[in-house]
Homo-oligomer: A and B are copies of this chain.
């Protein structure tokens, strides 16, 4: 209608990279972030990411950006979260941003530069831009998918005992989970494969724990919540 040229936008990709980390005692769900050295939002924390380049997809962009700071092979799952477009979300220049959710297994400990850190999502410090909202969206997506998919494969180490997995689920979901029922549910859904190994008990004794691994290493929907399913379709 108008004769004005179509506007063009800076477009950035951002990563909500989550990992359950047990640095000090209890394992906690953490998100990877950088403390900003400069304005805007100097001193606040920002998610990794950067501007999309000319010939790449947004997903290629976030992979490229994260790769420079973290071994990408370490990231076991990645999916698009949502696109944020409030005109004032970047006070310096109009920027549209697409956030991705990335999950890192608990046994990976990639070295990080000084200014980077793993922030506990339960007690986030001040976040730059709309990054706090992105973290919230990412955590919500991950928690939902823990319920009806095998997504935990991307948070768990390659091999684990049920006690380890219980702690991991508890940290990721934000509330206590019982190992007994966790094992039953995951076993019924075919997610767990026993390795045959046993993890010896600690100083305080106790029966040695069986060691498991996840049957699949890519996302599968293991509990289709579809009520109202097709006629004659079990599950």
Whole-angstrom distance between the alpha carbons of A177 and B230 in the complex? 7
CB–CB B11/A96 < 8 A: yes
B-contacting residues, A71-116, CB 8 Å? 80, 82-83, 85-87, 94, 96, 98
Find the B residue at minimum CB distance from A93.
B6
Whole-angstrom distance between the alpha carbons of A10 and B7 in the complex? 7
A227 interface contact, C-beta 8 A = yes
- Partner of A55 from B10, B52, B83, B87 at Cβ < 8 Å: B87
- Partner of A94 from B10, B54, B59, B225 at Cβ < 8 Å: B54
* Chain A interface (Cβ < 8 Å from any Cβ of B): 6-11, 51-59, 80, 82-83, 85-87, 94, 96, 98, 144, 146-148, 169, 173, 175-178, 181-182, 185, 223, 225-228, 230-231
Extra contacts, 14 of them, besides A7-B53, A11-B96, A58-B83 (Cβ < 8 A), are A7-B52, A8-B9, A9-B52, A11-B11, A52-B85, A54-B94, A57-B85, A57-B86, A80-B82, A148-B227, A173-B228, A181-B228, A185-B227, A185-B228
Which 5 residue pairs are nearest across A and B when measured between Cβ atoms?
A: A8-B8, A225-B225, A175-B230, A58-B85, A83-B83
